[in-house]
Amino acid sequence: MKQLVEKICEFLEKGEPLAVATILTRSGSAPRTAGTKMIIRSNGEISGTIGGGLVEARAQQTAADIFATRQSRRFAFDMTGARADTMDMICGGKVEILLEYIDAGEENKTVFAAWLEALNAGRESMLITPLPEEGCNHFASRCLLYADATCFGPAPLPQEIRQELLSATRNSRYPTLIEFSQGVFFVEPSHAPATLFLFGAGHVSRPTALLASMVGFNTVVLDDRAQFANRQRFPKADDIRVVPSFDDCMAGLDIDSSSYLVIISRGHRHDQSLLRQAVQTGAGYIGMIGSRGKRDKIYANLLSDGVPGETLEKVYAPVGMAIKADTPEEIAVSIVGELIRVRAELHNNEA
């Protein structure tokens, strides 16, 4: 999401109007979830995807009318039944698309810039887009609603609507349509991204940090070697820390249930120390690299030192999905794949 919002801000700052396609609702096995966005420029170039195929092609074709009329539209696309069979659409499902015309005026620039700032800062917020009534293509101004009920935008929402929106979307992590007597609103929550702590800055850590950043994790890399933990090796990491030692290195970290800890240091002794620390935190995910034999030895040592067995049962070890990974890059794919799966499961449980 953040990358798409960055793109929108970039184009608007250049004075370029855009058409932005957003999936409003989805049913069945449609390929992408509600809130997925795709930017369409006036020259036909796109950024992002709403699933490819005929849905995306329809959005691109409709964008020409959006630029010509400067009016936003909603349309439904049915990928089920006989019509879908004749068009070789095997995914199935139905999607409703909002195709917005976003001019490069100051109002849109400031609202999207504020949204990007909230995303970068991890500030809880919601982009509120009022949708038109049936047969009307006039859209009220969008705005940004923060968790404390303050509102930013050219036409701030009335206080009672703010409270209703906040109550209706409490704990929601996914975009949704909310209908009140005052109108229909498309609400896109923005939550603080999960933080991935990589303990170790070796060969596996480099591609893991890059991939994790690409899929929306804040990445923090820690090592006791400055020649490994540096910006040249980790250009996309959000934070890089050279620690005096791996012993007691988690004491000053802001670790909570939205934190993911991956232990990929250079030796068994360091991994054992790190795992001892990790299981005492409230991290939502703890993973440790290595063979099952290494894991069993470390577990036996920790159990003999009084670490409860139930805490070790929650550790993902060996870390990563079982895809027969071999190279550092393949191992990174397996690790990040597991992080994505666990993140999705945690979000579904919270919803």
- The answer as to whether 174 is a domain residue is yes
Task: Please indicate, yes or no, if residue 1 is contained in any of the structural domains.
Answer: no
Pair 88, 51 in one domain: yes
Q: In this predicted structure, what is the pLDDT of residue 82? A: 43
Among 176, 192, 208, residue at a domain's last position: 192
Of 109, 127, 104, the closest CA to residue 1 belongs to 127
Asked, for residue 200, whether it belongs to a domain, the answer is yes
- Residue pair 169/180 in contact (Cβ under 8 Å)? The answer is no
Question: Is position 3 within any domain?
Answer: no
**In a shared domain, residues 225 and 242:** yes
Residues 216 and 318 in one domain: yes
213: in domain: yes
pTM above 0.85, yes or no: no
Give the domain-ending residue among 73, 103, 133: 103
pLDDT of 190: 80
pLDDT at residue 32, rounded to an integer: 58
Which parts of the chain sit beneath pLDDT 50?
Answer: 31, 82-90, 136-137, 351
Q: Are 217 and 194 in contact (CB under 8 A)?
A: yes
Domain count, the chain: 3
Print the domain residue range for 145. Answer: 8-15+105-192
pLDDT at 346: 75
pLDDT, one tens digit per residue, over 132-167 is 665 544 556 889 999 899 999 887 788 888 988 888
Q: Which two tokens stand for residue 113?
A: 């810039």
Contact 184, 178 (CB under 8 A): yes
What confidence tens digit (pLDDT) does each residue in 13-28 have?
999 999 999 888 877 5
CA dist list (Å): 40 to 16, 49, 138, 169, 297: 11, 10, 20, 29, 55
Residues in contact with 27: Cβ distance below 8 Å, sequence separation at least 6, in sequence order? 93, 94, 95
Q: What is the pLDDT of residue 299?
A: 97
Query: Do residue 114 and residue 82 come from a single domain?
Result: no
Spatial distance between the Cα atoms of 285 and 213, rounded to a whole number of angstroms: 17
Q: What angle do CA 230, 233, 238 make, to 5 degrees?
A: 65
The answer to whether the beta carbons of residues 86 and 96 sit under 8 Å apart is no
Pair 230, 306 in one domain: yes
Same domain for 221 and 188: no
Residue 324: what pLDDT? 95
Indicate the residue among 192, 207, 233 that finishes a domain.
192
